Structure 1
Amino acid sequence: MAFGVTLTKRWGRPAGVGATAFAGWQLAAGGLFLVPLMLLVEGPPPPVDTPAVLGYLWLGLPGGLLAYILWFRGITALPVTSVAVLTLLSPLVAALLGAVLLGELLGPLQLVGFALCLAAIVASQATPNLVRTVKRKETTS
């Protein structure tokens, strides 16, 4: 993830390519990369019924394409260090939704991991401001 974010920040989006097309091409490239690995490890997929097609559409359109469009629009505006750390929010949100909506419980080890992720996010966002403040004080002294 960090490698992909870094390359996207470095190379940017090609001129004339909108966020939707950019996200679509990245999703297509990622899928094509994974197909041979999936076939090698899992074998051919089982037949797909109507509920599965509807599920794939739900996951693919709002859960994939819309999320990617928003993600790439966001990473163009944020520094790469902030974006890389924000990836920690995904499992945190999933755990919170599981606890709130499904009544799932987090064990002690999971709670420690949850706290560490939150601490990493807060620390990564607080550190640049602290460094800027210290540098300003050094230059004014």
Structure 2
Amino acid sequence: MQTNSRWECQLKAPLSARWIGFLCLAATALGWALNWPAMKFLLREWPPLFARGVAGAAAAFLLTGVAVLYGESLKAPRHVIPRLLFAAFTNVFAWMGFSTLCMKWLDVGEGALLVYTMPIWATLLAWPILGSRPTRRGTGALLLGMAGVSVLLSARGFNLDTGKLLGIGFAFSAAVLFALGTVLNCTPLPLPPITAVAWQVGLGCLPMILIGLVFERPNLGGLNSAGWSVLAYMTLVPMGLCYLAWFATLRRLPPAVASTGMLLVPLIGVLSAAVILGEPLGPRQFVSLALTLGGVTLALQTS
């Protein structure tokens, strides 16, 4: 009953708080979307897990400095540590690490399609965990959004060899685990907001660096000036500002609404890849845009 009341409070939140949530959601979607072509560019010079881990560790360091400037305590009470470790695993290591790792076997389109089934899992997990049954409007929004993503990427078939199966497994793992973290983070960690993000990003990215050093064997001097610029973007925006905006979103909007809004990420990612990397852009992309924006608009109306 207590969890249900929290869910209802989010639905009845003041209008200003919900609009702040929508703005944070839009900022998160845009920053994470542009990270797809950025990551594709960086993969030419550094392996995925190590690159993502380095960007995240640098972001955690910067966020720690921001927390200190704002007078936040960096201490994590002992009783919070299990929740903090779980949140770091689902929200950072699994989401960022597995979604990047899947790109070793899948192309960007295939990976984005599978990773952003996350709203389906969030909607389904919110039912048993939070006692929130999907509404007809919410279900319709989800179907519209997923139809838009499917139209955009339906031309990319799957050849289910061993490599493809590994990639699909990592992509689905990222989607399901991040959805679980999204639902459970309906109740924020009892830490100052910037401190909570800094801890999660740092704890989630440190294992990526260690695993990357052992198994990926990166060329530490392999980045050129363009690569360093992309790495700086990944540090400041997707791993820093976007995580702050994402957790601010979860404090103001229900998980189903927030995760449905995340369907904008693969759409914007592919559109930006057309501009930045010269990838194809035609009628299929515009039909997808109409369907996905229709789904997101319908989802926002449920709040």
- Give TM-score, length-normalised by structure 1: 0.65
**What's 2:93 paired with?**
none
* Counterpart-to-counterpart distance in 2, 1:36 and 1:114: 39
| Pair 121,31 (structure 1): closer, same or farther in 2 beyond 3 Å | same
Match of 1:13 among 164, 186, 189: 189
SS in 2 for 1:46: coil
Matched, 1:92 2:301: no
* Counterpart-to-counterpart distance in 1, 2:260 and 2:288: 15
Number of equivalenced pairs: 124
Q: CA deviation at 1:90?
A: 1.4
Is 1:13–1:22's contact at 8 Å kept on the other side of the alignment?
yes
- Which amino acid in 2 is paired with 1:21? T
Q: More deviation in 94-103 or 72-81?
A: 94-103
Matched, 1:44 2:217: yes
**What's 1:137 paired with?**
none
> Highest Rg: 1 or 2?
1
| Pair 100,9 (structure 1): closer, same or farther in 2 beyond 3 Å | same
- Identical counterparts, % of pairs: 28
**What's 1:58 paired with?**
233
Listed one character per residue, the Cα deviations across residues 81-104 of structure 1 (whole Å, up to 9, x for unaligned) are: 111111111122223334456654
SS in 2 for 1:9: coil
Q: CA deviation at 1:53?
A: 4.4
- Which amino acid in 1 is paired with 2:203? A
Identify which of structures 1 and 2 has the higher relative contact order when contacts are C-alpha pairs closer than 8 Å and 6+ apart: 2
Listed one character per residue, the Cα deviations across residues 36-65 of structure 1 (whole Å, up to 9, x for unaligned) are: 65467x522222346344532331123321
SS in 2 for 1:77: coil
Listed one character per residue, the Cα deviations across residues 5-30 of structure 1 (whole Å, up to 9, x for unaligned) are: 112113x121xx33222112121222
SS in 1 for 2:232: helix
Cα-Cα RMSD:
3.0
Matched, 1:3 2:180: yes
Alignment of 1:1-141 (within 5 A): 1-10=178-187, 12-14=188-190, 17-35=191-209, 38=212, 43-48=216-221, 49=223, 51=225, 52-100=227-275, 104-107=279-282, 109-126=284-301, 128=302
Q: CA deviation at 1:108?
A: 5.1
Any stretches of 5+ residues in structure 1 without a counterpart? 130-141
Any stretches of 5+ residues in structure 2 without a counterpart? 1-177
| Pair 109,50 (structure 1): closer, same or farther in 2 beyond 3 Å | closer
SS in 1 for 2:257: helix
